[in-house]
Structure 1
Amino acid sequence: MRTLPIVWQRLVSSEGKTCVRCDASHQELLRAVSKLKEALNPLGIEPTLETRELDEASFKVNPSESNRVWIAGSPMEAWLGAGVGSSRCCAVCGESECRTIKVGGSEFEAIPEHLLLSAALVAASRLLAPTSETQPRPGG
């Protein structure tokens, strides 16, 4: 079975806390991965979720690394043609501007399940594509 790796990282404070938007994104990720497992299993693809923790020092250097998702080695926003923004969050994040994702005319602080599913399904479709060795060559 081929794997579809999904990696998510977020700030975890020295007290073991994370912010409200990262907690919400985590819940959305769990739902999305559950649905992906059911949908992709018949195709021989298994989504896997790895969660990583950013410590406070790393977060202060680059807050946009928190609440970030990679699917099949690429940033989630690349699969969606989306952008990244930032906005103030909560006490756990301090004065930092935290990561948001911009799709179309909407900006999301927590990553919604439907965006995770969309990005993962595009990535999974690439796993189903024939390799370059089996693709027809132009003119031949």
Structure 2
Amino acid sequence: MDKKKTQWQKGCGCSTFGQNASTNKNILIIKWQRLIFEGETCPRCGSTDKELDKAVSILRQSLAPLGIEIVLEKEELPVSKFKKDPLQSNRIWINNRLLEDWIEGGVGHSPCCNVCGPHECRTVEVKGQVFEVIPAEMIIKAGLTAASQLL
């Protein structure tokens, strides 16, 4: 019997979602989208940015020993898109799934600030509590839940 593996048996070498074939690391992609207007963002998005950085740092430290790499992508939401749908701002996805889906939360809205104008901005609701700023603890919980599916 030929012990030489065919390309099919070895795998094609391309990455599959959530895994980097070249390093055999699992990848957790965290993507955040927020409004940027004339180089500024609103206070709640600014605070979420700080919370997100804190959460990503903790997730990296916690998940690295398990071979899980965290990739953070921050995207600007143009004003034109924000005006059409303000709830697109301050959204976080973890491996292409919205944060609130990972934590059994919901989405709401509330008035924000001058940067956002008359539009009501996105909030996250969990167990009856409304969050205008997405706290690090919530991001960590969602990240750990998502990471558990990579193991």
Fold match (TM-score > 0.5): yes
- Name the Cα RMSD after superposition: 0.5
Q: What is the aligned partner in structure 2 of residue 92 from structure 1? A: 115
Any unmatched runs of 5+ in structure 2?
1-24
Shift of 1:48: 1.1
Any unmatched runs of 5+ in structure 1?
129-140
Q: Deviations over 1:101-120 (max 9, x none)?
A: 00002100010011000000
Q: What is the aligned partner in structure 2 of residue 125 from structure 1? A: 148
Shift of 1:2: 1.2
Aligned residue for 1:110, secondary structure, equals coil
Q: What is the aligned partner in structure 2 of residue 78 from structure 1? A: 101
Aligned residues: 127
Task: Return the TM-score normalized by structure 1.
Answer: 0.90
Task: Return the TM-score normalized by structure 2.
Answer: 0.83
Counterpart pick for 2:62 among 33, 39, 53: 39
Q: What is the aligned partner in structure 1 of residue 83 from structure 2? A: 60
Percent of aligned pairs with the same residue?
50
Shift of 1:23: 0.3
Aligned residue for 2:141, secondary structure, equals helix
Distance 2:87 2:149 in 1: 27
Distance 1:82 1:47 in 2: 23
* Greater fraction helix: 1
Shift of 1:27: 0.2
Q: Deviations over 1:58-97 (max 9, x none)?
A: 0000000000000011000000010000000000000000
Q: What is the aligned partner in structure 1 of residue 124 from structure 2? A: 101
Shift of 1:47: 1.0
Aligned residue for 2:115, secondary structure, equals helix
Q: What is the aligned partner in structure 2 of residue 6 from structure 1? A: 30
